[in-house]
Amino acid sequence: MIYSFDLMVFRYLNSWAGISPFFDWAIRFRAVYLLWAMIAAALLFVLVPLIPKYHRWQKQNMRMVMLVLFSALVARFAVTELIRLAYPRPRPFEVLTDVTQLVPHAGGSAFPSGHAALAFAIATAVSFYYPKISILFFLAALSIGIGRVATGVHWPSDIVGGAAVGIATAFAIQFFLKVKIFGERRSGEV
């Protein structure tokens, strides 16, 4: 089912594809490679404690990286795939005839976006430990989502759904890790 708002936003963002080689490169970078940069940036937090001045952050950064990896993997490969089984929504290039598709992609379930779920799970996990730095991660996640729509492989609502999956998964895993694994007590407990 295509909603008019979805179609309107999709057509606007996809209209930027095919204008120039530079725009096409920028859109492809956001849609495909920016996610890898986000993952690398999150993993770099493991190296920060190697700098003597920041050694005291070793435990915190290891917890954060563990949360980033676990949240991202669960959001992308468990929750997203379960939703796709229940709601097999076709991709824009399968439904519309005038899509400029900048990245090759197989047809099939588009909702929710796995890239958006992964990116927003990473950004949310980073926000629990470094709220100010996480703004950059959220901007990158948003940029990835816009890129996925502009390349013609997702509807805008696929990105919103993926963002919701990623954010909710990171919150759920953060809660589980705090309570079950780390044994951190909630305020008010003795």
CA of residue 10 relative to chain centroid, distance: 19
pTM of the model: 0.86
pLDDT of the residue at 126: 93
Question: What per-residue confidence (pLDDT) applies to 101?
Answer: 82
Q: What is the mean pLDDT of the segment spanning 136-143? A: 96
What is the number of domains present in the chain? 1
Q: What is the pLDDT of residue 61?
A: 78
Kindly report the average pLDDT of the chain as a whole number.
86
pLDDT band at 190 (very low <50, low <70, confident <90, very high): very low
Residue 100 lies in a domain: yes
For 70-108, what is each residue's pLDDT tens digit? 999 999 999 999 999 998 888 888 888 888 888 888 888
Q: How many whole angstroms separate alpha carbon 33 and alpha carbon 64?
A: 22
- Is 73 inside any structural domain? yes
> How many other β-carbons are positioned within 10 Å of the β-carbon of residue 47?
10
- Residues 42 and 145: their CA atoms lie apart, in Å, by 18
With respect to residue 189, please indicate whether it lies within any of the assigned structural domains. Answer: no
Q: What is the C-alpha separation between 6 and 140, in angstroms, rounded?
A: 21
pLDDT at 121 over 90: yes
Asked if residue 116 has pLDDT above 50, the reply is: yes
Per residue, what are the HEC states of 78-107?
HHHHHHHHHCCCCCHHHHCCCCCCCCCCCC
Q: How far apart are CA 138 and CA 101, in angstroms?
A: 25
Question: For position 24, which CATH number holds?
Answer: 1.20.144.10
